[in-house]
Structure 1
Amino acid sequence: MGKWFVMLSLAQILEALNLNFHANISILHESITGISIDTRTLQPGNLFIALKGKNDGHHYIKEAIKKGAIAVIVEDSFNTEDMTNTTYFKVPHTLEALKKIGIYARAQCHNTKIIAITGSVGKTTVKEYLKTLMWPFGKTVATQKSYNGSIGVPYSLAHLSHDSAFGIFEVGMNKRGEIAPLTQMVKPDIAIVTSIHLAHTEQTGTLDDIAAEKSDILSTLEKGNTAILPFNAPHYQFLKDKAARTGANIISVGTKQGADIQLIAFDTHDKGASIKAKVFDDNLSWEMQAYAKHYAISALFAVAAALTAGVALDKIKTMLPELKPLPGRGSIEKIKLRNGHIITIIDDSYNANIASMKAGLSILNAVKGKRKIAVLGEMRELGSQSKHLHEELGRLVSCTNIDSVFSCGIEMRHFNNKLQKIQLKGYADTIQNLYIPIEQELQNGDVVLLKGSNGNHIWKIKDYLMNT
C-alpha cells in the first residue's frame, strides 16, 4: 500500500523502553508517524533511532531533527548537551530499543491477524501478493522491501497499531539460530513456509539443516493457529509433523495431487498465463502477467493466507488480476537501445540460489524472442557446495536453447567450465567489465535474462543499457 498505520504515542514508547523522559511532559500524548533508521527516508513526525552499524546513526541526529523527527533514541554514551530543545530517549543499545518497541507494538494488536513468511525462495513475492490481496479489506502493515532480519523484523513490527487488521512479516536467515528469536517477536497466527532449497549454505549447512531452521517459524503456533506448508517439498512431512505438535491447523499448497490448494494448470500465452487451481472444494481461475509456474504457486500461498485471515474467496478473486512479477524478481519490460534495437529484459537480478536460477531460466525459455541471452552472476554464500552447484548450473544451461551467456563473479568459473563453448560470449569478475561486450552482442528482438546474487549488481546492466 505504501502507507504505514502508526499510532504509538511517545508515552507508549516510554513505556516500551521503561525509561526516564527528557522533555516537556506535555509532548507525551503526541503520536509518532513512523519509525526511521535512515534520515534519507525520514518523514516529519517520525521517531529516529540512531543505530550503530556500517554507518553510525548518531552522526545523523541533527539531520533527523532538521527533517522533523518528533524524537530521537540515542545510546547512553552519546553527548546530549546540545539537545536541550530536543525530545530524546537514552538507552544502553539502540538496536535493543528497536526490538523492545517492535515487541511492544505487537503486544497491542489483540485483534490483528499476524502472518509470518519464511522460505528459501518466494518470501518477498508471497508477502507482496498477500499485501495486494488483503489491503482493500483492512488496514495492512507489511515488511518493506526485504527487511526480514534482526533489524528489519522489529522495525516492521514497530509500525503496527492496535487497529491494524493484518500484519504481514518476512522472516529471513543467513545462518542457523536466527529464525527462532525473530519468530518469538512476531508471534504469528499464520506461519508460511514457501520452500526449502539450498541457500546460504556457507552458514546454514545441509538441506536438512535449512529445513530445521526454517521450521522454527512454526515454534510459537498454538491450537487454532495455522501453518501453510509446501506440499511438493521433500521436507513436507517433517514440517507437517512439527506443526501438528503445536496443535495448529495445516494447509498444504503445491502442484501434486492431495494438496489442499493445488495448481491444476498453468498455460502460457503472449500476455502471460491462464491459471487454474483447486482451493479446497472450490475452483479458481485467473489470468496472470507471468511466464513461470512459481509465480502462480506464490499466488496460491497468498490465497491460502488471505482465506485463513478471514478474507472471502469471492473478494480475493477480485484482486488476483493485480498480481504480477515484482521489480528485480522476474519483471519484464521492453527497452530501446541507442542503436534503435528493441530488446526484452527479464529483470530477476535481486538474488540467486540454485532453485531461483532454475526458475529464472524457465522464464527465459517461456518468453518469445529472436535470441535468448543470459547474463548470470555467481550464487554467493554457498560455502563448500559452491563449486558443485555452479557446475550443476553450467550443465543445466548447456542443455538449453540459450544462444549467448555472459557470466560475472569468481565462482562462475566453475559454471563456465560446464557450458558449451559456443554459448559463453563473455566473463568478468565485475558486471561493469561486461557492459560493452553485452551491448555489442545485442540484436533487435533479443530476450535478456538478468540473474545473480544481489552483490553482483547484475541489475546495473539494465541501467547502463537504458541510459546509453
Structure 2
Amino acid sequence: MPWTKAELARITGGVWEGDLPENWTTDRIAFSNGLVRPDALVIPYVHTYLYGVKPAKIARFRQQGLALLADAKYRRDFEDLAVLRVPSIRAALWYLAKHARAAYRGRLTAVGGSVGKTSTTAMFNAILTATGHPPFPDENFNTVSGVLGQIANLPPHGIHAVEVSIGFHRRDLGEFALKPHAALITTIGDAHLEEYGSREAIAEMKSRVYDVTDGGTAIVPRDSDQFDYLRGRALSYGAKVTSFGEHAKADFRLADYAHGTQIVRAVLRGRDFAYKLGISGRHMAINSLGVLAAADALGLDLNFAAGALEGMKAIAGRGNVMHISLASGAAQIFDEAYNANPTSVAAVLAAFGQQRREGDGRKLALLGDMRELGPRSAELHAGLAEPVLAADLDTVMTVGEQMTHLRRALPKHILGPHYATADDVLPSLVGILRAGDQLLVKASHGTRLHEVVARMRLQLGDGSGAAA
C-alpha cells in the first residue's frame, strides 16, 4: 500500500534523519536485494538481520528516490539518503505488516507443509500471472521477517500468495494474525523432528496456518496420516475444509499422472479434468490439486487455472534440469539440492525413477545428509534404501556422516564414492560423469551441495537451459 513519510514515522515509532521531500511516498519496503526499486524504503544489510539490502545494490539506485529504514546498529554509508531511524527493524516490520493486513481488501493464500511449499506457491503464482495478477513475491521469504515484509508490501487489492515456514508459526506475533482467505498444507513429513519430536507436534505447529479469515477455506492433504488431526484443527478455526490427494474421498482427486507427458487427470469436485503440468513428478501433480483447490476457494475459474499450470517452470534447487558439457558429450543434472527430508527425498526418487535413460547413459544419485531429524536420524536415513532401490539407479553417491546409514542398507554393487563434505565432491564428480548420464542431487541445505551444483553450472553449464 502507499505509505507517506509521516505515516511511516507514526506507525514504526521512527524519526527521520536527513532531507526527504514532505510529499515523498512509497509502496515498497525493500528488505532484500531483489525488492529494490525507485522510491523504495530500503532496509540496509546488517549482520543482526536475516535479510537486508547490500550496499552495492543501494548505490545503484541511490539517485532514484530511495530512503532507508534502519536501527541504531546501522552506520550511515550513504550520507545523501534520508534514514527513518527506528528502535527495532523487526518491530518496525511487525507494525507495518499489521497496518497493511488490516487495510488489505484482496484475497490472500498461505502455503505451508513439509514438502514442496516453494514450488506449490510458484504454481499458484503461475495461475495469478496468467489471470493478470502480478506474481508476489519474486523470491522465497517464509520466515517471520520474510512473511511480515511481504505483508507490509501488500497492495490494497488483488490476489496474493505467501509461503509460510514452521518457524513463522512458532513465534508469538501478538496482535498480528495472517488470517489468509485460503490456507494450504502440502503434507506433514519428518522435517524438524529434531526440534519438535514427532509428526503430531509438527502437524500441530503447521496447522496454525488454518487460522483463516471468516469464511475462509483450509485445504488439507487427504493422503496424510495426519489428515483427521489437520481437518479437526481447521474446523476448530471455523474454516471450511477442502481435501486433495489420491485418496478416493479427496475433493480434488488425482486419477492418473503420466510422467512422460506430464498430463494430470483429476476429478475436481466431481468433474473430470485433464491438464499438462509444467514441472515433473507425481508429488508435484498432487500438490497442483491443492493449488487448484485454493484457486477455486478464491473464486478463480478452474478450467483457466488448470490450463495455466502448463506454464509453470521448475525452480533452481527444486527440480530444475541443468545441461552440462563434458569432454565425452552432454549430461544432465536434476537439481533438487535446496533442501531435503525423508518425504521429499522419497518423492523425488520416485519421479527420477520414471525418467527414461538417455541412450547408454546412466542414472546416478548424489544424496547428502538430511538435517534436523533428531534421535531417529540413523533410522530415517537407512529407510531411504527402499525408494533408492525402487528408482532403479546405476550408482548412488553419498555425502555426510548420516548418509553412511543409508550406505549400509544398500547392496554394494550400486554404491559409488562417499564424501565427507561437499568440498570433496566436485573434482571427483566431474571425472565420474560421462555423456548421457542423468544425475539427481538431493540434500539438506546445510550440506552445501547446492554450491556444488552452482559451481558445475558456472564451469560446465552449456547455456541450454535452467529447466527442461
TM-score normalised according to structure 2 size: 0.88
Q: Are positions 1:232 and 2:223 aligned together?
A: yes
Cross-structure match for 1:214: 206
Cross-structure match for 2:343: 355
1:301 to 290, 293, 302: 290
Cross-structure match for 2:378: 387
- Cα distance in 2 for residues equivalent to 1:22 and 1:136: 43
CA apart distance, 1:443: 2.6
1:346 to 321, 334, 339: 334
Q: Once the two structures are superposed, what CA deviation does each residue of 1:164-203 show, in whole Å capped at 9, x if it has no partner?
A: x01211110259724x649944221111111101102121
1:149 to 139, 143, 146: 143
Q: Are positions 1:204 and 2:193 aligned together?
A: no
Q: Once the two structures are superposed, what CA deviation does each residue of 1:213-236 show, in whole Å capped at 9, x if it has no partner?
A: 1111123x2441111110111111
Cross-structure match for 2:127: 133
Q: After the TM superposition, which residues 52-451 of structure 1 pair with which residues of structure 2 at under 5 Å, given as runs?
A: 52-53=46-47, 64=58, 67-68=61-62, 70-76=66-72, 83=79, 86-109=81-104, 111-140=105-134, 142-163=136-157, 165-174=158-167, 177-178=170-171, 181=173, 184-219=176-211, 221-269=212-260, 272-337=261-326, 339-369=327-357, 370-398=361-389, 400-451=391-442
**Which deviates the most, 441-450 or 253-262?**
441-450
- Cα distance in 1 for residues equivalent to 2:336 and 2:49: 29
RMSD: 2.8
Identity of aligned residues (%): 25
SS of 1:121's equivalent?
coil
- Cα distance in 2 for residues equivalent to 1:166 and 1:18: 30
Q: Once the two structures are superposed, what CA deviation does each residue of 1:336-355 show, in whole Å capped at 9, x if it has no partner?
A: 21x13222221111110000
Whether the 8 Å CA contact 2:128–2:135 is kept in 1: the answer is no
CA change 1:341–1:197 in 2 (3 A) is same
Please tell me the residue identity of whatever aligns with 1:204: Y
Q: Once the two structures are superposed, what CA deviation does each residue of 1:302-323 show, in whole Å capped at 9, x if it has no partner?
A: 1111121121123214312212
Please tell me the residue identity of whatever aligns with 1:212: E
CA apart distance, 1:23: 5.3
CA change 1:386–1:34 in 2 (3 A) is same
| Aligned positions, number | 454
Cross-structure match for 1:3: none
CA change 1:327–1:66 in 2 (3 A) is closer
SS of 1:89's equivalent?
strand
- Cα distance in 2 for residues equivalent to 1:331 and 1:267: 18
SS of 2:228's equivalent?
helix
- Cα distance in 1 for residues equivalent to 2:390 and 2:295: 40
Q: Are positions 1:16 and 2:11 aligned together?
A: yes
SS of 2:417's equivalent?
strand
Q: Once the two structures are superposed, what CA deviation does each residue of 1:43-83 show, in whole Å capped at 9, x if it has no partner?
A: 33221224643579999679736732622122246677995
- Cα distance in 1 for residues equivalent to 2:127 and 2:94: 28
Runs of 5+ unmatched residues, structure 1: 1-5
Whether the 8 Å CA contact 1:368–1:447 is kept in 2: the answer is no
Whether the 8 Å CA contact 1:330–1:346 is kept in 2: the answer is yes
**Which deviates the most, 186-195 or 454-463?**
454-463
Whether the 8 Å CA contact 2:322–2:334 is kept in 1: the answer is yes
- Cα distance in 2 for residues equivalent to 1:88 and 1:325: 39
Please tell me the residue identity of whatever aligns with 1:190: A
CA change 1:247–1:39 in 2 (3 A) is closer
Q: Are positions 1:48 and 2:42 aligned together?
A: yes
Please tell me the residue identity of whatever aligns with 1:89: L
Q: Once the two structures are superposed, what CA deviation does each residue of 1:3-28 show, in whole Å capped at 9, x if it has no partner?
A: xxx6333333223214444456x734
- Cα distance in 1 for residues equivalent to 2:33 and 2:290: 35
- Cα distance in 1 for residues equivalent to 2:375 and 2:431: 36
Please tell me the residue identity of whatever aligns with 1:126: T
- Cα distance in 2 for residues equivalent to 1:96 and 1:457: 32
CA change 1:41–1:415 in 2 (3 A) is same
- Cα distance in 2 for residues equivalent to 1:391 and 1:117: 30
Please tell me the residue identity of whatever aligns with 1:397: V
SS of 1:99's equivalent?
helix
CA change 1:183–1:295 in 2 (3 A) is farther
CA change 1:248–1:308 in 2 (3 A) is same
CA change 1:242–1:399 in 2 (3 A) is closer
- Cα distance in 2 for residues equivalent to 1:243 and 1:113: 18
SS of 1:448's equivalent?
strand
Whether the 8 Å CA contact 2:328–2:434 is kept in 1: the answer is no
CA apart distance, 1:363: 2.0
CA apart distance, 1:93: 1.1
Please tell me the residue identity of whatever aligns with 1:72: L
CA change 1:316–1:400 in 2 (3 A) is closer
